[in-house]
């Protein structure tokens, strides 16, 4: 949509900002940089204050400047909390200011005509409740969101996470059975769901209960008829503390041709996972060498510019 609008009105800033965000979320760093420098910066003097703030917020997020990002986000939140609350909440969440994030998310007008279908608000706010240990409110929000968006599967994951955090093991198993039986969703790799639940159990001291869920997730990756996002298998092996298998999985992934690496390959992250697996195996020199190589791809093809 943004491309069609921009083609008809190449100086219409709202459409250009939407394109900027879309390119960033797709990991198209060259497109993002071109949009900033060639298309949007020359229009800065014609922008509204809100549009300039939005541009600066995107710039700060894409270029790793949390101080600028926070300053711009807070300025927008002070002036129009019902409009800028979501972006300010995302920034606060990203800098681990969870109480601030919740205040900002809740100030955003989720029922405004342009906002009522914005699904990320529901998952971000549920995440914030979870990080604050407010599991009853996390579950309540997930239930409300599922009434509005019955197909928004990550909200069921929040019900799983809340149950796991409180050690309600039978409920975790029941919810996982339910969510794993849902129709495939191209946006989410269902095989990771038992792994996330296992990590939640482990984080809250339920180590013994976590092991069968790690095994369940890894078994799901062995199903040749179940498509999955290939890097997730490496992550699952790493989280299950199968260090040698994780090393092999990421080594294979990094050596694979681009068409087999999946969309938006994140070379930097994969090397980091492999380096950590090598460190756990006691292969210190290899881990250090791999870690040192991360700088060579920090600004390359493997780095996503999530906006």
Q: What is the mean pLDDT of the segment spanning 106-127?
A: 95
Residue 184 sits at φ, ψ, to 5 deg, of: -55, 140
Q: What does pLDDT average to over the chain?
A: 88
Q: Please give the residue that has the higher pLDDT: either 186 or 184.
A: 184
pLDDT at residue 303, rounded to an integer = 37
Q: Please give the residue that has the higher pLDDT: either 226 or 179.
A: 179
Q: What is the mean pLDDT of the segment spanning 97-121?
A: 96
In the numeric block, the tokens 């019902």 are attached to 82
pLDDT at 185 over 80: no
pLDDT at residue 267, rounded to an integer = 86
**307: pLDDT confidence band, cut at 50, 70 and 90?**
very low
pLDDT at 302 over 50: no
pLDDT at 9 over 90: no
pLDDT at 218 over 90: yes
pLDDT at residue 2, rounded to an integer = 46
pLDDT at residue 7, rounded to an integer = 58
pLDDT at 301 over 50: no
pLDDT (tens digit per residue) in 59-77: 888 788 999 999 999 999 9
The share of the chain scoring above pLDDT 70, in percent, equals 90
pLDDT at residue 77, rounded to an integer = 95
DSSP tally for the chain: helices H, then strands E: 17, 0
SS3 89: helix
- For residue 228, which of 186, 179, 180 has the smallest C-alpha distance? 186
pLDDT at residue 167, rounded to an integer = 95
pLDDT at 294 over 80: no
pLDDT at residue 118, rounded to an integer = 93
pLDDT (tens digit per residue) in 131-166: 999 999 999 999 999 999 999 999 999 999 999 999
Q: What is the mean pLDDT of the segment spanning 74-87?
A: 93
Between the alpha carbon of residue 130 and those of residues 5, 41, 97, 159, the distances in Å are: 38, 38, 13, 10
pTM of the prediction?
0.82
Q: Give the end-to-end CA distance of the chain in Å, rounded to a whole number.
A: 18
Q: Which two tokens stand for residue 107?
A: 């100030």
Q: Count of CB atoms within 10 A of residue 261's CB?
A: 18
Q: What's the 3-state SS for 198-219? A: HHHHHHCCCHHHHHHHHHHHHH
Q: Which two tokens stand for residue 198?
A: 């296992």
pLDDT (tens digit per residue) in 157-181: 999 999 999 999 999 999 999 988 8
Between the alpha carbon of residue 1 and those of residues 14, 18, 63, the distances in Å are: 12, 9, 26
pLDDT (tens digit per residue) in 227-277: 568 889 999 999 999 999 999 999 999 898 887 777 777 888 999 999 999
**How far is 225 from 214, CA to CA, in rounded Å?**
20
CA atoms within 13 A on the CB side of 118: 17
pLDDT (tens digit per residue) in 11-66: 788 888 888 888 877 767 788 888 888 889 899 888 988 888 888 988 888 788 99
Q: What's the 3-state SS for 153-197? A: CHHHHHHHHHHHHCCCHHHHHHHHHHHHCCCCCCCCCHHHHHHHH
pLDDT at residue 49, rounded to an integer = 85
């Amino acid at each position: 949509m943004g491309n069609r609008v921009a083609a008809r009105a190449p100086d219409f800033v709202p459409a250009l900002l939407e394109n900027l965000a879309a390119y960033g979320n797709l990991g198209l760093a060259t497109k993002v940089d071109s949009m900033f420098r060639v298309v949007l910066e020359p229009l800065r003097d014609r922008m509204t204050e809100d549009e300039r703030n939005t541009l600066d917020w995107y710039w700060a997020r894409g270029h790793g400047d949390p101080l600028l990002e926070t300053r711009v986000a807070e300025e927008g939140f002070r002036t129009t909390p019902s409009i800028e609350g979501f972006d300010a909440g995302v920034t606060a969440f990203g800098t681990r200011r969870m109480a601030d994030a919740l205040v900002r998310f809740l100030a955003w007008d989720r029922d405004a005509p342009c906002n009522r279908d914005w699904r990320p608000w529901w998952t971000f706010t549920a995440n914030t409740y979870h990080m604050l240990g407010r599991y009853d409110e996390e579950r309540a929000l997930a239930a409300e969101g599922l009434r509005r968006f019955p197909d928004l599967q990550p909200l069921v994951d929040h019900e799983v996470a809340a149950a796991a955090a409180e050690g309600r093991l039978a409920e975790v198993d029941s919810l996982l059975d339910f969510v794993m039986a849902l129709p495939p969703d191209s946006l989410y790799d269902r095989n990771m769901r038992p792994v996330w639940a296992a990590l939640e159990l482990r984080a809250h001291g339920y180590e013994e209960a976590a092991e069968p869920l790690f095994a369940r997730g890894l078994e799901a990756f062995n199903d040749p008829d179940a498509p999955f996002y290939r890097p997730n298998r490496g992550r699952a092996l790493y989280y299950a503390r199968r260090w040698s298998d994780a090393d092999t999985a990421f080594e294979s992934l990094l050596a694979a041709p681009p068409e087999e690496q999946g969309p938006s390959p994140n070379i930097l992250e994969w090397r980091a996972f492999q380096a950590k697996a090598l460190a756990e195996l006691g292969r210190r020199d290899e881990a250090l060498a791999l870690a040192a190589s991360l700088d060579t791809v920090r600004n390359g093809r493997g780095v996503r510019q999530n906006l």
